[in-house]
Each structure stands twice: as structure tokens, then as C-alpha cells.
Amino acid sequence: RYNAAITSGNDATKTSGIEAAKGDFRSAATSASKAVEMIKAQPAPTDPTAVTRYNNNKLAALTVNAEAHRLFVSKADPSQADAGLAAFKEYIAVEPDAAKKSKAQLDAAQMLLDAGVPDKSYIEYRAILATEPDNADANLGAGLSLFAGGDKTKFQEAANYLQHYVDVAP
């Protein structure tokens, strides 16, 4: 619904479609959070096969929860940025794949920037840059976050990040 709504030429259709999509995003985030809570409420299995199944289900639930919150916060309710960040941090803590973990860190930082909380976004981008100083996306995000913060004393630092982005971008 969201994609159809934002491409609609009719303002009334666009507005009603976006509002309906916001409800869908809220429902998805709520359902995903419930799934995580249900899995956490299960007693820890002891059988090796059951442990593997439990861990896979938990990872899947946390993955969906983080993505649902990203969409909810970015497209529907920026005031839920802290809940979205918590969902990402919980997912990142258990994700074994380094590439997926790195992407999730970038997604979390971008979600915060989209939600209009550039100071928190900058903190997340800086955390990425601490281990990957030449990460082009993190340099771009850090620069945009500082600029979006509106503090003119940080504009030169923002420009430095953006220049480094230009230097390392493919």
C-alpha cells in the first residue's frame, strides 16, 4: 500500500493510502515484537536439534523485528526511534554473520537519521567507523547526521566525513 500511495497522483488517495500503510507498519512492528517475546518466553531446550531450531527461530524473529521497526520508525512514527534502535541492537547481538551485522548497523543508523534524531544517528555511524574507518556509507551518514544536527560548529567535521566518503566511495 505504501508504494502505491506515494506514487499516486491524487492527493486524497495518497493521504489515505499513506495513513493505511502507517497502520500496517505499526501492526507489523507490534506483531514482530510479540513474536520475539513469545520465543523468549519458551523454556530453553536441551536437545541439540531443538536448540538449533530454537536459535534459528529466535534469529528469524529478531531479524523481522528489526526490519519491521525500521520501516515503522522511518515511514510511520519517528517518535519510536528508541524502540527501533533497541530492536536492532538485540538483533545485532545475536547475528553470527559479520556482513549481515554490518548492514544492520548501517540500517539502524539510517533509521535514526530518517527519524530526525541526527545526534543518535551520528553515534551509531561513529561506532561503525571505529572498526571500519573507510566504510563509505558510514562516512556519508556521519557527515549527513552532523549537518542535519544544525550545529554550525560541526559543519567542518561534517564536510570532512563527506570528503572522506567521496575519497573512498566506489
Q: Where are the domains of the chain?
A: 1-101, 117-170
Distances (CA, A) of 100 to 7, 37, 65, 91, 155: 30, 22, 15, 10, 31
pLDDT tens digits for 101-144?
999 999 999 999 999 999 999 999 999 999 999 999 999 999 99
The set of residues, in sequence order, having a beta carbon less than 8 Å from that of 96 and lying 6+ positions away, is none
Cα–Cα distance for residue pair 138/90, rounded to 1 Å: 20
Grid cell in block for residue 88 = 536492532
pLDDT given at position 8: 80
* Local confidence band at 151 (pLDDT 50, 70, 90 cut-offs): very high
The percentage of the chain sitting over the pLDDT mark of 90, rounded to a whole number, equals 87
pLDDT tens digits for 19-73?
999 999 999 999 999 999 999 999 989 999 999 999 999 999 999 999 999 999 9
Cα–Cα distance for residue pair 39/103, rounded to 1 Å: 24
pLDDT given at position 15: 87
Domain 117-170 matching CATH 1.25.10: the answer reads no
Grid cell in block for residue 116 = 530526525
Cα–Cα distance for residue pair 53/59, rounded to 1 Å: 10
Cα–Cα distance for residue pair 61/58, rounded to 1 Å: 5
